[in-house]
């Protein structure tokens, strides 16, 4: 199921960023993450419950996060910090929703909570299970982001 979930997460991230921000995201090789330090400067994280429990996060490098905001809201940004926080929260929620819909088609019923957003250099991410954390790096013309998930 982890491989199917990884496929669902990759497709969800690509679809959401393309549709909502006009960003072409290319996935890299998935890997098991060690440690808790985020791979970006701003992270959205959301808890998952239902047939499995866990969490999903997406961490953006600063230039990529700004490109997401500009893609969603246009170039005239009034409050970049607030807009980045709001956009990353919304993108996290949408990727979670698309992933859960894909898992539902496989017979796995999942729900999610409200995303939290953390910003800052070298911030940490606390996933809610002791399961291994799968990470998928993505590259875009405006920088990188990494999606992480773990379920048990």
Per-residue pLDDT of the chain (152 residues; tens, 9 = 90+): 477 888 899 999 999 999 999 999 999 999 999 989 999 999 999 999 999 999 999 999 999 999 999 999 888 777 888 889 999 999 999 999 999 999 898 888 999 999 999 999 889 998 878 889 999 999 999 999 999 999 98
Number of C-beta neighbours around residue 130 at 10 A:
8
pLDDT (0 to 100) of residue 47: 94
Q: Distance between CA 98 and CA 85 in Å, rounded?
A: 20
pLDDT (0 to 100) of residue 4: 80
- 101, 93 Cβ separation under 8 angstroms: no
Q: Distance between CA 151 and CA 21 in Å, rounded?
A: 28
pLDDT (0 to 100) of residue 106: 86
pLDDT (0 to 100) of residue 150: 92
Q: Distance between CA 100 and CA 136 in Å, rounded?
A: 17
pTM: 0.92
First-residue to last-residue Cα distance in the chain: 10
């Amino acid at each position: 199921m982890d491989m199917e979930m990884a496929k669902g997460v990759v497709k969800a991230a690509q679809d959401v960023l393309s549709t909502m921000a006009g960003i072409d995201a290319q996935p890299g090789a998935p890997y098991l993450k060690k440690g808790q330090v985020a791979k970006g400067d701003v992270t959205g994280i959301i808890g998952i419950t239902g047939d499995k429990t866990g969490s999903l996060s997406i961490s953006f490098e600063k230039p990529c996060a700004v490109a997401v905001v500009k893609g969603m809201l246009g170039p005239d940004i009034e409050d970049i910090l607030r807009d980045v926080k709001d956009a990353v929260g919304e993108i996290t929620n949408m990727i979670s929703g698309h992933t859960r819909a894909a898992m539902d088609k496989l017979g796995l019923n999942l729900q999610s909570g409200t995303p939290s957003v953390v910003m800052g250099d070298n911030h940490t991410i606390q996933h809610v299970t002791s399961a291994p954390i799968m990470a998928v790096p993505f590259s875009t013309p405006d920088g990188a982001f990494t999606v992480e998930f773990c379920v048990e």
